[in-house]
Amino acid sequence: DAKTTQPNSMESNEEEPVHLPCNHSTISGTDYIHWYRQLPSQGPEYVIHGLTSNVNNRMASLAIAEDRKSSTLILHRATLRDAAVYYCILNTGNQFYFGTGTSLTVIP
Amino acid sequence: KAGVTQTPRYLIKTRGQQVTLSCSPISGHRSVSWYQQTPGQGLQFLFEYFSETQRNKGNFPGRFSGRQFSNSRSEMNVSTLELGDSALYLCASSLAHEPYNEQFFGPGTRLTVL
């Protein structure tokens, strides 16, 4: 199984940038890096994904290390609505293996 | 566009019974994946169906099974329920069976086994 390692929890002040790290040292060449988040009492929702290059979308940015063994999800300005559990996932052939995720607390 | 729907939303069963959960994917999506979420084990992958064929399977006993119909709707079945099967069962759909496809999750079915 493709494995990822994330810190259990992180805190951020509202309107500050947040960098959520993920290690995936066993990544293979065909694995895509996906990030999802889960708000309380909801199913996970897509945040961003990438293969080799850094990616940006309206929600976040994804910075991928050159050796692809780690990545960082960047929320540019944290809001209270961003408080959630963030999962970093390696996807080969549409098979997701979720790690324990990082619980993000946003402090007003 | 309607999202992923799962029925029922809540279910209570007793040990030894069997249960069937249903998932309707987003229109046009051909891949459906199932996950089990518990406080102790987190989110675990059960299986994925694409074009009515099981493409991937997680590490669950044979009591857990599923199928997909020609309209991409999917069902999962758990036979001989155990207390440990109490969990939130999530279904996710995606356009195709590709590693770059985004998965859209439903709200889940909360199963309680007494």
Strand-pair category, B64-68 with B53-57: unpaired
Return the residue of B nearest to A30 by Cα.
Answer: B99
Which residues of A are less than 8 Å from B4 in CB distance?
43
Residues 6 or more apart whose Cβ sits within 8 Å of residue B95? B28, B29, B30, B31, B101
Q: What is the DSSP string of B53-72?
A: EEEEE-S--TTEEEEE-TTS
- Residue B89 is predicted with a pLDDT of 98
Which residues of A are less than 8 Å from B103 in CB distance?
36, 44, 46, 94, 96
Query: pLDDT of B42-98, one tens digit each?
Result: 899 999 999 999 998 999 999 999 999 999 999 999 999 999 999 999 999 999 888
Question: Are A94 and A1 a contacting pair, CB within 8 Å?
Answer: no
Which residues of A are less than 8 Å from B108 in CB distance?
43
Contact B33 A101 (CB under 8 A): no
Look at residue A95 and tell me whether its pLDDT is greater than 90.
no
- Residue B2 is predicted with a pLDDT of 80
Average pLDDT over residues A14-32: 93
Phi, psi of A82 (to 5 degrees): -85, -5
Greater pLDDT, A42 or B24: B24
For B11, left (φ over 0), alpha (ψ -120 to 50), or beta?
Answer: beta
